[in-house]
Amino acid sequence: MRQLSVISICLCSALALAACGGPTSEEEVERAIQDVIASDEASLNEIMLSVADPNEAAAYYRRLLSEQPDRIDYQRGLGTSLVRAKKSIEAAAVWRNVTQHPLSNNDDKVDYADALIRAGEWDEAEVVLDSIPPTIETYKRYRLEAMVADSNNEWDHADSFYETAVGLTTKPSSVLNNWGYSKLTRGDFQDAERLFFEALNYDRDLFTAKNNLVLARGAQRNYKMPVIEVSQVERAQLLYTLALSAVKQGDITIGKGLLQDAIDTHPQHFEEAVRSLRALESNISN
């Protein structure tokens, strides 16, 4: 109902403006009406693809496609909404159809590869990325290339792609975090730590980078909390991560102390930490 009222107001305004300009043909009036409708539709699409509930957005685009199945913008909207809803297999199927549309482009292939990676179809994603001309140099394309290279243990290629992706965006926190995690899995803990710090310089609220940072420090048997901005709950969770790292490496006494710190720090009952501490003390007594 709200959508219809907005369109009605806009149509009245368009007709009033047309009238102010003197004699107007029916074609001009129709063109003005269509421009208003298109503008309103674009605004609604923007809302659906950003702040709307992803499942509701997917239902919205399915409804539109039932009426106009050949509209590639509606197909793209459905694919994007399904990715946001974490329905990766369905999203990949939709993006596959998009890439077969006569109006599809290389950006659609990148989105298709992204959906395939989310669905765990790494080999197929690599084939799709290889089909994209090297002249298509976008942040998303290189981020995906880096992830595929990582999955193939092609470290030099991965590093090159990550570095390129970082240079193509003003918000590189997530790709820096991915790059750091890649270094972490390779055992390059110092470089991983540096990349996680760098990610947090761009986004101080990125908790995955904070957690990965303490994992990198813990792997080096550095169990001190890094100097970063954290909430009380986050601090407790990070102390818990450090505790598990210490226990894993045989530093049991340090692990016990960190678990107790995590329990004391958390503003509520920290069940996971309490359970882990009890299990640790039980194993020691036995």
Residue 106 confidence (pLDDT): 97
pLDDT at 126: 97
CA distance 69 to 64: 8
Read off the pTM.
0.80
Q: Using CA atoms, how far apart are residues 64 and 78, in angstroms rounded to an integer?
A: 10
Task: List own/partner pairs for 222-227 with CB under 8 A and 24 or more apart.
Answer: 223/251, 223/254, 223/258, 226/197
What b/e readout covers 127-155, taking b as 16+ CB neighbours within 10 angstroms? ebbeebeeeeeebbbbbbbbbbbbeeeee
Please provide residue 137's backbone torsions phi and psi, each rounded to the nearest 5 degrees: -110, 85
Average pLDDT over residues 44-60: 84
Q: Give just the sign of the alpha carbon dihedral 277, 279, 282, 284.
A: negative
Could you tell me the pLDDT band of residue 14, with boundaries at 50, 70 and 90? very low
Q: How many helices (H) and strands (E) does the chain have?
A: 15, 0
Q: What is the pLDDT of residues 109-149, one digit of tens each?
A: 999 999 999 999 999 999 999 999 999 999 999 999 999 99
Position 50 confidence tier, pLDDT thresholds 50, 70, 90? confident
Q: What is the mean pLDDT of residues 193-217?
A: 97
Q: What domains can you pick out in the chain, each with its CATH number?
A: 137-229 (1.25.40.10), 230-286 (no CATH)
Of the pLDDT bands very low, low, confident and very high (cuts 50, 70, 90), residue 281 is: confident
- What does the pLDDT average to over 190-203? 97
